[in-house]
Structure 1
C-alpha cells in the first residue's frame, strides 16, 4: 500500500500506514500462538484494518476521479472538434460574404451598363491586347471588387502603367457588372479587357476533361448534397465555387492567349505590393510554368500527394520536390 499509485502522493496516509505496520510488528513480535500476544494486539490489528480500509477508499475515490476526468476530457475534445468545425464554417462564410451595403452592387452595375450605348461600352487601347512586348496579366474571377483590388494594386506599384494589360475573364452573371466597374473606374493608363467565359465556344466537355468532370452528376452531388456535409472534415473543400470552370481556366492559358509569349496569372485574393515587371525577364529554364513556392517544411511536397511505395513513382519522382500549388 505505501507504493500504490493511489496513495503514493498522500503523505499523511503513507505515514499513518507505516506507523500501523510498526505497531503490528511490535505487537506480534516473535509470538507463535495467541497466548503469547500482548493484550493490546487486537487493538493494533483493528487500527491496521481501519487504515487499510481508508487506503481502499482513497483508491476508489481516485479511480472515480480518473473516470470522471476521462469523461470530462472526452467531452472537452468533442466540444473542441465542434467549435473548430464551426470556426472553419464561419471563417469561410465571412470570407465569402459581402457587407450589406454591397449586396446590390453587381445588380446596380449591370443596370448601368445596359443603359449605355454600344460605343460607351467599349474599353480604350484594345489594339494592345495582343502585343507581346507588353506586360500581360490574366485574372479569372466572378468577384468585381476582388478583381478591382488586384488590378489597382498592380497598377499602383507599376513603374510603367501604360505597358500593362489586364485580361479579365468572368462568368455571364457578372460580365456586365465587371465591365461597368472598369469603365467607370479605369486603372490609370493601363489596358483592360473583360471577357465572358461563354465566349470560349471551344471550351466544352468534349475538349476539356476538366469541364466534363465538373459537369458530372457525382461531382455536383458532392458539392450540393447536404446530407454528406457532416462527413467532411474540411468544409473549404466543399465550396461549390470549385465547380466553376473559372477556377480551372488557368490550365488553358495557351489556348486563350495564343499570340502572347508570357502571361502572369494572378489570383483574385491577392494585393500586389511591388512592381512585377521583373517577372517577365525571369529565366524559366525551359519550364512551361513558374509559380510561387509554397512548400515550406513539408507542405505541398510530392510525398503528400503521391504513393512512393509504388516503385514506378519512387524511381521517377523526388519525394521532397515541391508541387505546384495552383491556387485551389
Structure 2
C-alpha cells in the first residue's frame, strides 16, 4: 500500500507526504533486509515498521479514494505479472543455454586425455577381450556419448552393481572430436573384468546421406538455415523453445545412431541401450530375461501424466499422423531400453524409421528430438517394463519420489539440470557423484571435484 499512496501523493502534488512516504519505505526495506523471521530482525526494526504504519494511516486519511486505489493496485498487479512472465522466460532461456554448454572442467578433461592418447603407441591403444564383442551369450550395452565423464559414470555404476562383471560388454560410440579422450579414459580406467570397446561414429562408412534420410536432411542447406540462422535463435527475444530445439545434440549422428543398432551390432541378439545421463543402481541382467512377447523395444511407459501421450509429441492435424496413431497412446522413455535385435530385423524397424523420416522432410509431423520418431517407429512394438527399472525426472522434477529413486535399477537425469552442470539439483546429485572417480589425476588437474 505504501507504493500505492506514494504514487497518489505524487499525482496530487502532496510533496511533503510523498517525501515522508518515500523515506519511511526505504527505511523499512533496509530494516527488513533479508530477514525471514522475527528473530532475524535488528532491534530497531520494530520501531521503524511502527513509524511506517503511522505514515500509512496519515496517507489514508489524506489520500484514500476507493476507485483510485483499486486502479493503482490493479496496475501494480499487472506490472508484477509481466515481470514474473519476463523472469520465467529469461530463466528458461538461461537454463537451455546452460544445458547445451560443456563445463570448462569436462572440456579440460577431454583435451588432456586426447593429447595423451595421441602420444600412445598404436599397440597400446587396443582394448583387451575383443573376442567378447560379438558373443551373443553375454550382456551387451550400447552407450553413445560425447561426454567422457558422463560415460564413465554409466560404465562404473553398471559394473559396481553387476553380480558378475565378466559377462558384461560395453559398446561405446563417440564422435571424432572425443574419440581419443574416450579411448584414453577407458584404457586407463578399464571396467574390471568386463569388456569395453570404443568406436568413432565417423568410421561407420555405411552411415552416409545416401542411406540415412536424417543425415541427408542434416546436411541440407535448408536444415542449416533452420538451425543456424532462423530468427537468431541464440537470443532471448527469439524464445527458449527455439534454443532448446537448436541444441547441437540434434545435429549429431550420435543422437540418431539408436535407430541403427542391428547394423552396428549385426552378430548380437539383444542389447541394452543406455543414455549417458543415467546412473545404474542395481544388477541389470534381469532385463535380458524379460519376455517382450514378440515386441522389439522394452521400455518404461511415461503416461502417468497427460503430457506424455502421443498428442503432445506428434502433429495430429496432419492426416498421415491422424490416420496411423492414437493421440491418447502412452508414451515411453528412451534412456534404458532393451532391444530384441532379431525381432528388429524381422520387422524392418530401420526401414520404418527411414520411411517416416522421408515423410518428415519439412519437419511438420513431430517435434524435434529422437523420442517422437521413436514413438512412431516402435508404435505397437514396445513392451512396457516395470517402472522401477527406470525412474525419470532427476534433471527437471524437484518432486521425484525418494523411495522410487532408492529402489530404482536406473535413475535418469533427463531434462536440463544434468548432474555435471552447476544448475543440477543438489538433492539428486549424490546419486551420480558417488560413481565419479574424483581421485583420478586427470580430474584433479582439471579441478573436477564434488
Task: Normalising by structure 1, report the TM-score.
Answer: 0.75
Rounded Cα–Cα distance in structure 1 between residues aligned with 2:247 and 2:322: 33
Q: Given the alignment, which residue of 258, 264, 267 partners 2:275?
A: 267
Rounded Cα–Cα distance in structure 2 between residues aligned with 1:85 and 1:213: 30
The answer as to whether partners of 1:172 and 1:196 remain within 8 angstroms in 2 is: yes
Deviation at 1:83, TM superposition (A): 1.8
Report the structure number with the largest CA radius of gyration: 1
User: CA 1:313 to 1:86, structure 2 compared with 1: closer, same or farther past 3 Å?
Assistant: closer
Aligned counterpart, 1:239: 247
The answer as to whether partners of 2:159 and 2:194 remain within 8 angstroms in 1 is: yes
The answer as to whether partners of 2:153 and 2:279 remain within 8 angstroms in 1 is: yes
Rounded Cα–Cα distance in structure 1 between residues aligned with 2:96 and 2:194: 33
Aligned counterpart, 2:297: 289
Deviation at 1:184, TM superposition (A): 0.4
Deviation at 1:267, TM superposition (A): 0.3
Rounded Cα–Cα distance in structure 2 between residues aligned with 1:105 and 1:314: 48
Cα-to-partner distance string for 1:180-223 (whole Å, 9 max, x where unaligned): 00000111111111000011111111111111122223332333
Rounded Cα–Cα distance in structure 1 between residues aligned with 2:321 and 2:198: 42
The answer as to whether partners of 1:224 and 1:240 remain within 8 angstroms in 2 is: no
Deviation at 1:237, TM superposition (A): 2.5
Aligned counterpart, 2:232: 227
Gaps of 5+ in 2: 1-62, 336-368, 370-450
Q: Given the alignment, which residue of 184, 190, 195 partners 1:191?
A: 195
Aligned counterpart, 1:106: 110
The 3-state SS of whatever aligns with 2:262 is helix
User: CA 1:87 to 1:141, structure 2 compared with 1: closer, same or farther past 3 Å?
Assistant: same
Rounded Cα–Cα distance in structure 1 between residues aligned with 2:184 and 2:218: 30
Aligned counterpart, 1:31: none
Deviation at 1:96, TM superposition (A): 4.8
Gaps of 5+ in 1: 1-56
User: CA 1:247 to 1:308, structure 2 compared with 1: closer, same or farther past 3 Å?
Assistant: closer
Instruction: Indicate the larger mover: 289-298 or 91-100.
Output: 91-100
Deviation at 1:92, TM superposition (A): 3.6
Verify: 1:79 aligned to 2:76, yes or no: no
Rounded Cα–Cα distance in structure 2 between residues aligned with 1:289 and 1:93: 32
Q: Given the alignment, which residue of 169, 174, 186 partners 1:170?
A: 174
The answer as to whether partners of 1:123 and 1:192 remain within 8 angstroms in 2 is: yes
Q: RMSD of aligned C-alpha atoms? A: 2.4
Aligned counterpart, 2:339: none
Task: Normalising by structure 2, report the TM-score.
Answer: 0.56
Show the 5 A alignment for 1:307-318: 317-318=325-326
User: CA 1:194 to 1:309, structure 2 compared with 1: closer, same or farther past 3 Å?
Assistant: closer
Aligned counterpart, 1:69: 73
Deviation at 1:146, TM superposition (A): 0.4
Show the 5 A alignment for 1:52-63: 61-63=65-67
Rounded Cα–Cα distance in structure 1 between residues aligned with 2:182 and 2:240: 35
Deviation at 1:86, TM superposition (A): 2.7
User: CA 1:155 to 1:314, structure 2 compared with 1: closer, same or farther past 3 Å?
Assistant: same
Instruction: Indicate the larger mover: 169-178 or 112-121.
Output: 112-121
Aligned residue pairs, count: 270
Rounded Cα–Cα distance in structure 1 between residues aligned with 2:269 and 2:134: 10
The answer as to whether partners of 1:141 and 1:246 remain within 8 angstroms in 2 is: yes
Rounded Cα–Cα distance in structure 1 between residues aligned with 2:304 and 2:192: 37
Rounded Cα–Cα distance in structure 2 between residues aligned with 1:200 and 1:115: 25
Rounded Cα–Cα distance in structure 1 between residues aligned with 2:301 and 2:112: 40
Instruction: Indicate the larger mover: 216-225 or 203-212.
Output: 216-225
